[in-house]
């Protein structure tokens, strides 16, 4: 979204006009930004046999999945439902990485029946897998490196108290199970969390993985997960993917030359690809002044963007309708019967009731974490593709709220 000659636009389309056509609240995604981010990763790892597996949980709309597939991405899924969405978007099973957590073993069995790449992060599940499949179906193993990385403890997944992965200190048990059941382990996986800015964190993960990988003779790939940091406000530190691609690619090549054959390097970006491409556009219902604060109450809330409340996440907020107005300090809140502050003490151009308020960087974990709390409708989604605004999900109706309910009274 750009401000040009006093008007906010996406690919040359007036954002206010988009809202007139589709209503608010509205998720709008810029396809060109998604493609640009994907290309930047490909270029950053151009000297490496990289496989980019989009972390579908960030944004699962099938049109987004198809867009990424069209431009050469694979996909990482964490549930069978996401797997079926990916298959429906046209991803072949061998391009889908399935990384479930704490699921019933029958979900693993179904993943095998679909032909997915299976990624296991629990010793008991690994043993069940070995007993059932032995040397007939390969799997990947997700390791917990005991590295605290990422924006905060809530989004770090590689620390010692995380539920994710098999501890690197349990490597002997992994080896014992693999030998006992003739398990073919064709991949090793580490994902330490989100918003990692330092190349050194990935290089430290690589050092751990390379040391372990020598004990696994059947490897096809090593997966370094995702967690690349994007900017949420001016001045934010971000992951330098070109520095990462150069240094990690070099270390990876040195490893596989000593390993004895070429391996694939996998990464799983989610937020990096879609966060900056998405904007949640809302309408101001009320401007409410108190002796201590002035609230801007919009027609959305934590039911449609939970990240500010769940993770204390910062999202830049702008007044689309009055970009030239004098700046004042507001606290932007939702219309949910909870404390749902979307942004506190923000300098915005003067806000009037009816003004359109845009919340930036909402492409990742926005709609995908939305709910019908307070029985409110989920918003519509629009994709700006080749200069055209295309509806890719209609707004909920009351029928959607009632679907699945059974009246027994």
337 assigned to active site:
yes
On whether the CB atoms of residues 303 and 334 are closer than 8 A, the answer is yes
- Sequence length of the chain is 409
pLDDT in tens, the chain (409 residues): 999 999 999 999 999 999 999 999 999 999 999 999 999 999 999 988 899 999 999 999 999 999 999 999 999 999 999 999 999 999 999 999 999 999 999 999 999 999 999 999 999 999 999 999 999 999 999 998 876 455 544 444 444 567 878 998 999 999 999 999 999 999 999 987 656 778 888 888 888 899 999 999 999 999 999 888 898 888 888 989 999 999 999 999 999 999 999 999 999 999 999 999 999 999 999 999 999 999 999 999 999 999 999 999 999 999 999 999 999 999 999 999 999 999 999 999 999 999 999 999 999 999 999 999 999 999 999 999 999 999 999 999 999 999 999 999 9
CA distance to 58, 165, 176, per residue, from 146 (Å): 24, 10, 21
C-beta separation of 120 from 108 below 8 A: yes
Out of 19, 102, 139, 337, which one is annotated catalytic? 337
Of 205, 240, 273, which marks where a domain is finished?
A: 273
Q: Tokens in use for 164?
A: 């994710």
Looking up residue 251, the CATH number of its domain turns out to be: 3.20.20.10
Domain end marker among 214, 238, 273: 273
Q: Are residues 262 and 195 in the same domain?
A: yes
Tokens for 91, please give them. Answer: 């991803």
Q: Are 65 and 86 in a shared domain?
A: yes
Q: Tell me what pLDDT residue 194 has.
A: 58
Would you state the pLDDT for residue 215? 92
Q: Are residues 126 and 219 in the same domain?
A: yes
Do 303 and 393 lie in one domain? The reply is yes
- Asked whether 78 and 57 are in contact (CB, 8 A), the reply is yes
How far apart are the C-alpha atoms of 45 and 39, rounded to whole Å?
10
The reply to whether 200 and 319 lie within a common domain is no
Asked if 132 contacts 109 with a C-beta cutoff of 8 angstroms, the reply is yes
Q: Do 124 and 180 reside in the same domain of the chain?
A: yes
CATH of the domain at 389: 2.40.37.10
Is residue 40, in this structure, part of any structural domain at all? no
23-26, Cβ contacts within 8 angstroms, sequence gap of 24 or more: 23/380, 23/395, 24/281, 24/282, 24/283, 24/299, 24/300, 24/356, 24/379, 25/280, 25/281, 25/282, 25/283, 25/298, 25/299, 25/300, 25/304, 25/379, 26/280, 26/281, 26/379, 26/380, 26/381, 26/382
Is the domain of 198 the same as that of 319?
no
181 within some domain:
yes
Q: Is residue 339 part of a domain?
A: yes
At 116 the pLDDT is: 98
- Chosen domain end from 237, 253, 273: 273
Give residue 75's pLDDT. 98
Q: Domain of residue 342: give its range.
A: 2-29+277-402
As a whole number of Å, the CA-based R_g of the chain is 23
Question: Is residue 108 assigned to a domain?
Answer: yes
- Report residue 251: phi and psi, to 5°: -65, -40
One domain, residues 218 and 178: yes
Whole-angstrom Cα distance, residue 368 to residue 79? 13
Q: How far apart are CA 24 and CA 108, in angstroms?
A: 40
Cα distance between residue 348 and residue 356, in whole Å: 12
Residue 220: inside a domain: yes
Number of structural domains (the chain) is: 2
Residues 253 and 316 placed together within one structural domain of the fold: no
Looking at the structure, tell me whether residues 20 and 52 fall in a common domain. Answer: no
User: Do 20 and 57 sit in the same domain of this protein?
Assistant: no
User: Does residue 291 share a domain with residue 254?
Assistant: no
The answer to whether residue 75 is domain-embedded is yes
The answer to whether residue 212 sits within a structural domain is: yes
Instruction: Give the C-alpha distances (Å, rounded to integers) separating 53 from 94, 96, 144, 225, 393.
Output: 11, 8, 20, 9, 24
Q: Which residues is 317 bridged to in the sheet?
A: 359
Task: Specify the pLDDT at position 115.
Answer: 98
């Amino acid at each position: 979204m750009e401000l040009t000659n006093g008007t906010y636009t996406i690919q040359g389309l007036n954002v206010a006009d988009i809202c007139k056509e589709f209503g608010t609240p509205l998720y709008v995604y810029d396809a060109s930004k998604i493609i640009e981010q994907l290309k930047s990763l490909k270029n950053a790892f151009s000297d490496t046999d990289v496989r980019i597996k989009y972390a579908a949980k960030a944004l699962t709309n099938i049109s987004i999945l198809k867009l990424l597939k069209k431009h050469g991405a694979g996909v990482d899924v964490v549930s069978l439902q996401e797997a079926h969405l990916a298959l429906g978007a046209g991803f072949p099973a061998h391009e889908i990485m399935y990384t479930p957590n704490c699921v019933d073993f029958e979900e693993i069995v179904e993943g095998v029946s679909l032909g997915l790449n299976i990624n296991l992060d629990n010793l008991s599940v690994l043993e069940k897998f070995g007993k059932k499949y032995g040397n007939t179906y390969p799997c990947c193993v997700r390791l917990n490196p005991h590295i605290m990385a990422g924006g905060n403890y809530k989004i770090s997944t590689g620390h010692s108290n995380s539920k994710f992965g098999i501890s690197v200190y349990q490597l002997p048990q992994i080896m014992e199970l693999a030998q006992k059941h003739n398990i073919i382990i064709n991949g090793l996986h580490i994902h330490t969390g989100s918003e990692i800015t330092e190349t050194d964190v990935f290089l430290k993960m690589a050092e751990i993985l390379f040391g372990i990988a020598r004990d696994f003779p059947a490897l096809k790939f090593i997966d370094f997960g995702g967690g690349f940091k994007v900017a949420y406000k001016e001045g934010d530190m971000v992951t330098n993917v070109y520095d990462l691609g150069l240094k990690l690619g070099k270390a990876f090549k040195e490893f596989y030359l000593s390993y004895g054959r070429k391996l694939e390097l996998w990464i799983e970006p989610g937020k990096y690809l879609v966060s900056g491409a998405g904007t949640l556009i809302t309408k101001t219902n009320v401007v409410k002044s108190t002796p201590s604060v002035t609230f801007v109450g919009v027609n959305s809330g934590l039911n449609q963007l939970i990240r500010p409340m769940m993770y204390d996440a910062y999202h830049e907020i702008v007044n689309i309708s009055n970009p030239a107005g004098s700046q004042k300090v507001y606290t932007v809140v939702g219309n949910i019967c909870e404390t749902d502050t979307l942004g506190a003490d923000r300098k915005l151009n003067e806000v009037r009731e009816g003004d359109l308020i845009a919340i930036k960087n909402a492409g990742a974990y926005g709609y995908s974490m939305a709910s019908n709390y307070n029985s409110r409708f989920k918003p519509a989604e629009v994709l700006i593709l080749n200069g055209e605004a295309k509806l890719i999900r209609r707004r909920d109706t009351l029928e959607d709220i009632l679907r699945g309910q059974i009246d027994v009274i």
